[in-house]
Amino acid sequence: MVARYSEHIELRTAIEMLKKAFSGRAGKNITEKNISEALGCLLTKDITAHRNVPHYAASAVDGYAVDASSTIGASQATPVSLEPSRYHWMNTGADVPYWANAVLMVEDSSMEGDDLLIFKSLTPSANVRPLGEDVMAGQIIAREGDTVTPALISLFLCAGIEKVPVFKKPRTLYIPTGDEVISRGKWLSDPNPKSGTVAESNSLFIEASFREWGFDVDVSPVVPDDPALLKEKVSEGVDNYDVVLVGAGSAKGRRDHTLEVFEDLGKVIFRWIRMKPGRPAMAAEIKGKPVICLPGFPMSTTVVLWSLVFPLLNLLSARDEDPDHLIKEAVGCRETWNTKLLVQHSSPAGIEEWLRVKTAKVGDTLYSWALTSGASVLWALAEADGIALLPASALECEKGTDVTVWMKRKVDLDKRILFQGSDDPAIQLLVTPIRRRGGDFVSRAVGSMGGLAALSRGECHMAAAHLLDDKNGTYNDSFIERFANGAKWERILVFYRTQGIIVQQGNPKKIKTFEELCAGDNVFSNRQPGAGTRVLFDHLLKMAGRSPSEIKGYEQQCTTHMEAANRVFTCLADATLGIKSAADALGLDFIPLAEEPYELVIPSIYMSHPAVQALMDSLGDREWRETVEDMGGYRWTD
């Protein structure tokens, strides 16, 4: 069956299709608004002042109103004296008397009895704001197409203008859908939501985005997966709103009815866009109104809001600007940075990809790296410094590839350090103490070996390691010597921590020793090669005379303690090797096996870095230490 609409189109094509379909509606929504309510609106015609601003001759300073001719010859050496009838005290902004044509600054005078001594000659109009100095009555003070700003609102009032003609901003309705979607109130009131359900969180992001953009949006109650109910709600929406947004339902699942509803009520314009995330986006024209289907996953919703909805809202408000500029504005771009990719990234062929990225400057190189890229991941968007939109031609982006980042937040690169190395929750808790001391700290969990390798390549400011050398039983020494390759690196022993076996609550498999972990059909969750925990596990395997092939799940790799522990928590694994704090965080049981030193490794050249100094000071932070002690499984070196 041939579709009657465009499918799998480029983002720019989708924007142009919306523009073509709805540009005619832009000039029809004209209204007159009180100036206090017109902020952000576009003016439909030139605005002329009704009054002079100021509407009288006003003093520009504190001082005395005088006739300038009476000050001729006045100086510090030869002051001129005026009797009370020839001067008048003035506050800044006061109306200058009709007989005066200048104002003497109080600093250029003194009193001798009731007489005024003048130490400076004045010219007519000195220190006087003439009538209409700012604006003259009849002057054009704003033009058609100008955006109403706080400054214009104030000027309009002073110029005697109460209302202005503007393009009316479109009113939008958002309709969340899905049997699995739980309303905000129910979600928060239920501490143990049913598996398979999700919070209706997209509407919060949409409402906040609209407020930030200066537009209004209403949110309907959640509509279940019923085509008749959805059809009724969409039809009602286009009758009462200028734009309707529908949450989810554009895929090919049995409960996805949005396409069916759009086809029944109007004309589908396009379906699916060649971008990741955001691919399932869809648009239709129903009763002459634009109706957009937003994909259900949070990041997909976000990028469709940025790239389609915001440009559409501006189009309907008669603000027809370059789409690239509008998308950057929607994202909240503060500035654009040109960066080098820190880690190789593979992008789908022929697909534009939105990356959530962090940034750091190491030496003279400004790096960026992508955070978790899933369309359902909320944390990465909240954590990101900025957004990068990779072109469809990107495909394989090697390390060092130039990447343009739209920065969403202010980052002081000179006060930020990049940590790569062994993951530990206690180290993540240092971020706030470091920031309180004027520094900043960002990290990548790449394992002990990965951190030392990154340090040797000059790709971070510091690393952390807990690597056991099974040849002599020492920790870190041989590895640091090898990776430093003669460079001077400082070592800071932060604490000793306990590694052990993490098992499900109640220890249903009755695992008490490493040998019992290796026996039977226990499913193990492993760490990535190069992680200190992986090195320890391999050492214990060797000591037990076991082969990796005997361990079910050995090839399953996790990059952090919490990720591995979560696999146990969700019953995807029976056990993992990790630290006690990870087990405690998820209510899992813990069997201690070994205590190991956890060291920070910092090149000497970075020891004077303000963030490194903040870090060193933070290691003694009393609040941080108490929190670490409460977590358990740590022992201080002092």
Q: What is the pLDDT of residues 115-128, one digit of tens each?
A: 999 999 999 999 99
Q: What is the CATH number of domain 6-26+170-328?
A: 3.40.980.10
- What is the predicted pLDDT for the residue at 372? 82
C-beta separation of 51 from 161 below 8 A = no
- What is the predicted pLDDT for the residue at 378? 80
Residue 89 forms beta bridges with which residues?
64
pLDDT at 4 > cutoff 90: no
Tell me the average pLDDT of the chain. Answer: 93
**Rounded-to-integer distance, Cα 420 and Cα 453, Å:** 9
333-411 classified as CATH 2.40.340.10: yes
Q: What is the CATH number of domain 472-636?
A: 3.40.190.290
**Rounded-to-integer distance, Cα 458 and Cα 456, Å:** 5
289's tokens? 């109104």
Tokens 């039983």 found at: 473
Rounded percentage of the chain residues whose pLDDT exceeds 90: 83
**Rounded-to-integer distance, Cα 410 and Cα 433, Å:** 19
pLDDT at 283 > cutoff 90: yes
The Cβ of residue 537 has, within 10 Å, a number of other Cβ atoms equal to 25
Beta-sheet pairing, 163-167 with 30-34? antiparallel
- What is the predicted pLDDT for the residue at 3? 63
Strands (E), 19-170: 30-34, 47-48, 58-59, 63-66, 80-82, 88-90, 102-105, 109-112, 115-118, 128-129, 140-142, 163-167
Query: Among residues 12, 299, 41, which one has the least CA distance to residue 169?
Result: 41
Strands (E), 295-436: 335-341, 345-346, 352-362, 365-370, 386-390, 396-397, 402-407, 416-421
607 pLDDT band, cuts 50/70/90, is very high
Query: Among residues 497, 417, 482, 494, which one has the least CA distance to residue 452?
Result: 482
Q: What is the pLDDT of residues 481-530, one digit of tens each?
A: 999 999 999 999 999 999 999 999 999 999 999 999 988 789 999 999 98
C-beta separation of 276 from 307 below 8 A = no
DSSP-H helix ranges across 415-559: 425-428, 431-436, 447-456, 477-484, 514-518, 532-543
- What is the predicted pLDDT for the residue at 552? 92
- What is the predicted pLDDT for the residue at 48? 96
252 pLDDT band, cuts 50/70/90, is low
pLDDT average, residue stretch 154-167: 95
**∠ Cα 390 368 411 (to 5°):** 115
pLDDT average, residue stretch 10-39: 91
pLDDT at 436 > cutoff 90: yes
pLDDT at 379 > cutoff 60: yes
Range from 60-74, 96-110, 179-193, 305-319 carrying the lowest mean pLDDT? 179-193
pLDDT at 160 > cutoff 70: yes
pLDDT average, residue stretch 432-459: 96
Beta-sheet pairing, 575-579 with 524-527? parallel
310: CB partners within 8 A, 6+ apart: 213, 326, 327, 329, 330
- What is the predicted pLDDT for the residue at 1? 46
According to CATH, the superfamily of the domain at 30-53+134-167 is Molybdopterin biosynthesis moea protein, domain 2 (3.90.105.10)
pLDDT average, residue stretch 337-362: 95
Instruction: State in words which class domain 58-129 has.
Output: mainly beta
For residues 608, 614, 618, 621, the Cα torsion angle rounded to the nearest 10 degrees is: 120
605 pLDDT band, cuts 50/70/90, is very high
In eight-state DSSP terms, residue 552 is B
Give the containing element (helix H, strand E) for 323.
Answer: helix 323-331
31's tokens? 């209204």
**Rounded-to-integer distance, Cα 582 and Cα 425, Å:** 8
**Rounded-to-integer distance, Cα 60 and Cα 201, Å:** 54
Domain ranges of the chain: 6-26+170-328, 30-53+134-167, 58-129, 333-411, 472-636
Q: What is the pLDDT of residues 79-117, one digit of tens each?
A: 999 999 999 999 999 999 999 999 999 999 999 999 999
pLDDT average, residue stretch 321-333: 95
Buried b (16+ CB within 10 A) or exposed e, 558-596: bbbbbbbbbbbbeeebbbbbbbbbbbbbeebbbbebeeb
pLDDT at 419 > cutoff 80: yes
pLDDT at 42 > cutoff 80: yes
